[in-house]
Structure 1
């Protein structure tokens, strides 16, 4: 079905699961029943997880949803059941269908669950050329069904979970397998099934985002920090905040927002009285949160600032993190105009390739991989495309990505920018 034909119809709003909202599995007996039912089911299994992002420390799952033909829908509470390896074993030979798998794989892995084969309906939608790839959007496109999303940002660590939330959670897996079937047909018709299979196989080895050895550098507003001493103060404040957040099991931003943390680091007040009023934040609610955080933990902030102030010069961190990555693209024109020209042409050629295949350019090749190849090009040798292909392989590109992009990059390196 085309987008035009879907838009010509009125979407069917799905408000409740077809079999009703199942009871939440909260004990070993219920888990045993769930495993037995899912084991005898047929076909792929739809899997989803709900986290308490913005409320709790970390990204742990607070509800796991599964649905399989012949098994029905199961809602499992991982708080009393933190070890789901027996469920994982029961699904070892089953394809998992997830939406935005990179969000759920790490928290499922914490519970002992990891897919051996999967289909990601968000990534599949990107490869299929859909303009929007949220779950509701792809369900509308392929099945003509729309889902309510009013509970997507709630605190899933709440207990007991309200019935409307459970209904929402069950609906998230209600149509995933049907969606996978229709999307798989579309990818096959477009000649992209092999591309999708390579991407999905790579996802089975996904472990989560790499925040590096200095996660404090990811504090929002770090661009304002210009001295090693201020960098050290951010580091000490960040660590103090992280320790408090971990102990209280809340997200660090609820202890102290980033803008206030950076403001403290830049001012480095020497006493609790001088910590300030939280006016660095935008909006009344964020300012109130900052004020509460400054007041409640004032001794911790002063202590962290004092630690940074007492560090010897050789103990201070560099303002910028050590990295083997190329400089930001905006700096190329000044630092290496030839490389900047290479990048501009490659981006233009890849944009044309993206339009031709109706695949987002960042899915054709990661921007970081492109910059690394063009900033420090390899010796091309007798077979430039093969050489570029080897470099892209080392950077993690899949075969289909190398096949499409290596010729473009090799041509840019051989012939230079367009006049």
Structure 2
């Protein structure tokens, strides 16, 4: 009786949570450029210094930097492509403040620490560069609180000895901090800093400190970018097509669930329930991790559901075989689970390895497809293997389902021991 109560409690609680949260989760899913639309920017690249040329390598590196920046700004799966010898096209989705993103995307973010070289000409000018952006650890700028509880930006330097030598040499003198040739502050060096951390004060303005931290962490671009034009981009898959796709997916899912129940009876019903839980968990992960749903993501979702159905069919077919060979229901379930487990796990893990390689070497949509597929498989193992077996064993140990008919096996199909 306790196991029946536990089974009912688990199913009812999970079903209640899914029914209550699903509408809100669906509204919170971010749609990608191909599903929702967005805007694109065409940049023309030129060298930072005059007289130089734009190389293919520097153009590709700049495109990669733009993609990294877009990801850090929260625009998942940006589309970045190079055109010709000096142009880069950037497409973004899910952007709320277009002007701010445009500003941050092309910002060179050149950070320098400067001092006066001691000549009469530089008496009121900081013209000696002591440290440049490459002297600082990548993504090392953090927002901290100073001794007076004021917001400051702390940056880690790569060479502690170099920074200690600079601060020792300039002790009692100003060390100016510049961002793109604009002075942020010129504090007096009070102590020799040997811990490898430089701090920037912004007059107690927290918002300004956060903006400075974000700009520094975006890093420098190899090339100077000039906007040629920007324009809105319509969704590749229109709303009507998207609605039809969702409708077709729901109808197909309903047929799959009915097939599972018709073929395998109670285990099929449990499998159908775990498939629904699997899909709900995937939506939850999308919202929780702030992923963006795109057409490749939908393709990975469909593939993942297909693999989950396949895992259930393999397990239930092995149980059928054991029952037809004359084993009792308990023995058949135990043997079927054992023999199918390795087959199912091998197929799942090999797919994870392939998806991991795609994610490691791919870009944009390929990485999105691979990431969704990996998440799908992990959730499938948790729900369609472990959760379904847990629920089925609760019923079996409670003394229920001890007849082959509950598994879709006829008495006439069972061979005697």
Q: TM-score, normalised to structure 1's length? A: 0.21
Q: Say which structure is richer in strand.
A: 2
Please identify the structure whose Cα radius of gyration is greater.
2
Using CA pairs below 8 Å that are at least 6 residues apart, which structure has the higher relative contact order? 2
Q: TM-score, normalised to structure 2's length? A: 0.21
